[in-house]
Structure 1
Amino acid sequence: MEAFQTATNRAPIVERSVPVAIPPELETPGGSLFLSNLDQLFVALVPVVYFFDRSAASTVDVIKRALSKVLVPYFPVAGRLAKNSQGKFTVDCAKKLGVPFVEAWANFDVKHLGDMQLIDPDVSRKLIYTDPIETKLEDAPLLTAQVTKFRCGGFTIGILCNHRIFDGVSAMNFMNSWAEIARGKPVSIIPSHERTLLKSRVPPQITAAYEVFVPVSDVSNLTGLYKEEQNVQRSFHFNGEKLAILKKMATADGRVTSSISSFIALAALPWRARSMASKMKQHQPSKLFFAVDRRAMLKVPKHFGNATAGACLSRLRGELINQPISSTAERIKKATERVDEEYVRSWIDSFEMYGMDAFSLSLLVLTSWQRLDYGSTDFGWGNPRQFGCGPLLENTCVVLPKGSGRKGLVLMLSLPFSAMNTFEKLLQFSTCEPETPSLRSRARM
């Protein structure tokens, strides 16, 4: 058993079992599964936790058996990464090493964890199992699962999934299918593993310019900032009233229109504030990258894998800050509208030619989980009362729905300590409008 202690008066403890590898219940296809350039881009491991208020004595066994069953239609999850002769990642489906599954017990109540949409790294490490070999990509599991039961009868399901085979929609479909089986229901969405439609064209046909593929120099020494200071994570809540204000600011005439979504209105805010808070130089290129799901457009509605193409904007820090927020929002809106079928296919071809540095600190990766129906993932003991994500990558910002009717939004990101303090002050000013001497002074610029 592994025990740990967190800083409370009652010394909460969680104990873990030894991980057990869960294979598919039935024989599944072998061979090698092609990963498209949309898959090759994402190298992150995504930690998430579902929180449930009640359970039964059979909960862990039911969830474990259901995992073995769901790995039949989702057979690539039980495999491991491999590299082909071109040095690109594939999934070795013959290497059926299964999904590591851990059972854990907590001596405190779920409610003591509080608001867990953004999970503290120390807590995340206790509720999500990380395989010791996860740094060895070709040996590491593509998914780990941990069920933790609490004193109150509640439980959590913590998963760590490899983004190379899961985007948000794929992960949600997998979790909902797993939950359906646990409830004794048939899987309602049978995943498709046909990937030829997402292959790059021969020869590549690049029909658009993509800022995201243009290398950027770190003229502001952002690397030094992130190394010198401790990174901290914080979440910022925007209720309907605050979002309405942002929408007015995001339109040139100050009137809310249906063409400006809450996401577009909000997206300009962290991009501008982060560029200021991290003390980027005026001539530092600052990029905003966000994914747009195009399953329906590409005619792959049940595709298991990544089916999102990246829209990207690039501005010099000085240009970004000294233009009104409505101008930035309009550019974000137009960038979203450009993502049609030809854009996606040309994007795939561009990645084939140029590759991409997805971890550049001058790049803000904005991920929206607004449309993911995580609130209906019922394993038999009711819908989760909350869903949270673990530690964020240094250049990633996540947007989740919040509040009654999912009408509010919560913005979550990680920044060096001093930059986070400045970022928070800038958001308290409600906007990051063109800098003035007083704003620059208060923001310690």
Structure 2
Amino acid sequence: MTSNGNSLPIEKLEIRVQEPELVHPAEPVEHQVYYLSNLDQNIAVPMQTVWFFNGQEDKKDQDPAAVLKEALRKLLVHMFFLAGRIGLSPDYRLQIEFEDQGLVFVEAVAEKHCIAEFGDVSRPAPFMKQLVYEPPPSENILGSPPTFVQVTKFKCGGFALGLNNNHCTLDGLAAHEFICSWGKLARGLEITHSFSIDRSMLKPRSPLQPEFSHEEFYDLEDLSTTEDSFFSINPVHGSFEVNPRDMDALKKSILDEGEGVSKVTTFEALTAFTWRVRMNSLNLTPAQKTRVFFSVDVRKKLSPPLPEHFMGNGIVLTFATTTVGELCEKPLSFAVKLVQDAIAFVTDKYVRSAIDHFEATRARPALVASFVVTSWLRLPFHEADFGWGPAVAMSPASLPDQGVVLFISSGKDRKSATVILGLPTSSAMDKFGVELNKAHVN
């Protein structure tokens, strides 16, 4: 495993941003209140991502912003809720109030810069925040658009697409389909299937029937000291790449240990590995309970399964937990088994129970002494193509919070995995690197 650093040389761009405009569906759509499920309610946070596209000789006379805007108008006929506004129902639930207010679209020009000068743009860097439009700050999200789009053109003919989308509207799989469908329309192709945007199949039951304890909503006791704590105001970020050879070696070592593990996926191995190394780096007491959260796609786990081309949040949060002592002293296969058991625990009954539990409590996941793994390993965002060829790179626009670890595909043919994380102190990050070397993943 190798360190990649945490920033690129360019901190800030010279960029000219035009006034935002509103993009409306190409055809009339009935005004309505659009239902958001309980799987949407808990993740109403902005997701900011950037795609980079190289210039093409045969496209030098075409304006990418105009092409993307026209294709977006056509796509919004099917996904009109992205052009609405976030509202609150009488029973205090988030919803989308669609009166064709329009999706916010911004054009920008960075005429002194070329994509090639940015180096590796597959990882977040400070300048990327300028490629994503952010509205003026407000006290809450009510009344705000769920989606903002920025297209930034460079002097080389390439451009960047910055998407600032509230997670309550789309999960990763749905966002991938949104981007790829948008690209099809931009290339003059037709969408040959219908999108499933109705989320009513995820409504709570009546009467409510929560069947599980749902400990994900309850805090763990934090036994850390002020010197070795889980959180700080200014975390230190780092990124580490695992190439295919390293990953094969890691998986082999896990399987050789036994501990009830007969097979292991890349996600399971990386999650268990990062969990243990992260806890080791924090110098925590062995008695400290620790928990790792991650989302599970439930599209095919529900009975009946969610429809194909479901455009919403089809994920539920699950977790694995143990003490720091057990996690760090037992074989890594022990942690892998905890992760596998947490995934297997997510069934139709569990998901329905989670939906009902939120309806009864309106609780949010508790992150004390915990952290969240967000994996984009299986999301081929690079397939996005608006007529300028597939994206040369895609990246989150900013580094993750210190309570979040991000996995993204990287390297040649995207067969490597990059782990991006934040830790409370530089000494903790240094120790993280030492722990990686001790694990013999090199």
- TM (norm. structure 1) is 0.88
SS at match of 2:245: helix
Q: Distance in 1 between matches of 2:51 and 2:10?
A: 22
Tell me by how many angstroms 1:229 deviates. Answer: 4.9
Tell me by how many angstroms 1:295 deviates. Answer: 1.5
Tell me by how many angstroms 1:125 deviates. Answer: 1.7
1:374 equivalent to 2:381? Answer yes
Contact residue 100 and residue 141 of structure 1 kept, 8 A? no
Contact residue 54 and residue 115 of structure 2 kept, 8 A? yes
1:16-415 correspondence to structure 2 within 5 Å = 16-55=17-56, 56=60, 57-94=62-99, 96-120=101-125, 122-133=126-137, 136-220=140-224, 225=229, 228-251=232-255, 253=257, 259-298=263-302, 299-300=305-306, 301-358=308-365, 360-391=367-398, 392-415=400-423
Tell me by how many angstroms 1:308 deviates. Answer: 0.6
Q: 1 or 2 for the larger relative contact order (CA 8 Å, sep ≥6)?
A: 2
Q: Distance in 2 between matches of 1:282 and 1:253?
A: 22
Question: Which amino acid in structure 1 is aligned with residue 275 of structure 2?
Answer: W
Q: Distance in 2 between matches of 1:163 and 1:240?
A: 31
Tell me by how many angstroms 1:378 deviates. Answer: 0.6
Question: Which amino acid in structure 1 is aligned with residue 282 of structure 2?
Answer: S
Q: Distance in 1 between matches of 2:9 and 2:318?
A: 42
Q: Distance in 1 between matches of 2:64 and 2:93?
A: 40
Q: Distance in 2 between matches of 1:305 and 1:221?
A: 40
Q: Distance in 1 between matches of 2:82 and 2:235?
A: 32
Q: Distance in 2 between matches of 1:228 and 1:292?
A: 28
Q: Which moved more, 1:392-401 or 1:382-391?
A: 392-401
Q: Which moved more, 1:336-345 or 1:246-255?
A: 246-255
Question: Which amino acid in structure 1 is aligned with residue 293 of structure 2?
Answer: F
CA separation of 1:111 and 1:314: change in aligned 2, threshold 3 A: same
Tell me by how many angstroms 1:142 deviates. Answer: 0.9
Question: Which amino acid in structure 2 is aligned with residue 427 of structure 1?
Answer: L
Q: Distance in 2 between matches of 1:20 and 1:157?
A: 16
Q: Which moved more, 1:254-263 or 1:339-348?
A: 254-263
SS at match of 1:73: coil
SS at match of 1:329: helix
Partner of 1:442: none
Q: Distance in 1 between matches of 2:34 and 2:204?
A: 15
Percentage of identical aligned residues = 29
CA separation of 1:78 and 1:223: change in aligned 2, threshold 3 A: farther
SS at match of 2:257: coil
Contact residue 193 and residue 303 of structure 1 kept, 8 A? yes
Tell me by how many angstroms 1:39 deviates. Answer: 0.4
Cα deviations across residues 25-50 of structure 1 (Å, max 9, x unaligned)? 22113221111111011032111111
Provide the aligned C-alpha RMSD in A: 2.6
Tell me by how many angstroms 1:110 deviates. Answer: 0.3
Q: Distance in 2 between matches of 1:269 and 1:52?
A: 34
Q: Which moved more, 1:288-297 or 1:45-54?
A: 288-297
CA separation of 1:229 and 1:197: change in aligned 2, threshold 3 A: closer
1:425 equivalent to 2:426? Answer no
Q: Distance in 2 between matches of 1:106 and 1:275?
A: 45
Contact residue 250 and residue 330 of structure 1 kept, 8 A? no
Q: Distance in 2 between matches of 1:309 and 1:223?
A: 34
- TM (norm. structure 2) is 0.88
Contact residue 297 and residue 314 of structure 2 kept, 8 A? yes
Q: Distance in 1 between matches of 2:260 and 2:415?
A: 16
Question: Which amino acid in structure 2 is aligned with residue 144 of structure 1?
Answer: F
Tell me by how many angstroms 1:357 deviates. Answer: 3.7
Contact residue 99 and residue 144 of structure 1 kept, 8 A? yes
Tell me by how many angstroms 1:333 deviates. Answer: 1.3
SS at match of 1:266: helix
SS at match of 1:321: helix
Unaligned runs of at least 5 residues, structure 2: 1-7
Tell me by how many angstroms 1:263 deviates. Answer: 1.0
Cα deviations across residues 260-283 of structure 1 (Å, max 9, x unaligned)? 111111111121222232343333
SS at match of 2:301: coil
Contact residue 217 and residue 366 of structure 2 kept, 8 A? no
Q: Distance in 1 between matches of 2:343 and 2:333?
A: 15
CA separation of 1:279 and 1:139: change in aligned 2, threshold 3 A: farther
CA separation of 1:102 and 1:414: change in aligned 2, threshold 3 A: farther
Q: Which moved more, 1:299-308 or 1:243-252?
A: 243-252
Q: Distance in 2 between matches of 1:94 and 1:390?
A: 30
Tell me by how many angstroms 1:124 deviates. Answer: 2.1
Q: Distance in 2 between matches of 1:275 and 1:95?
A: 48
Q: Distance in 1 between matches of 2:440 and 2:240?
A: 13
Q: Distance in 1 between matches of 2:343 and 2:114?
A: 43
Contact residue 372 and residue 403 of structure 2 kept, 8 A? yes
Contact residue 220 and residue 289 of structure 2 kept, 8 A? yes
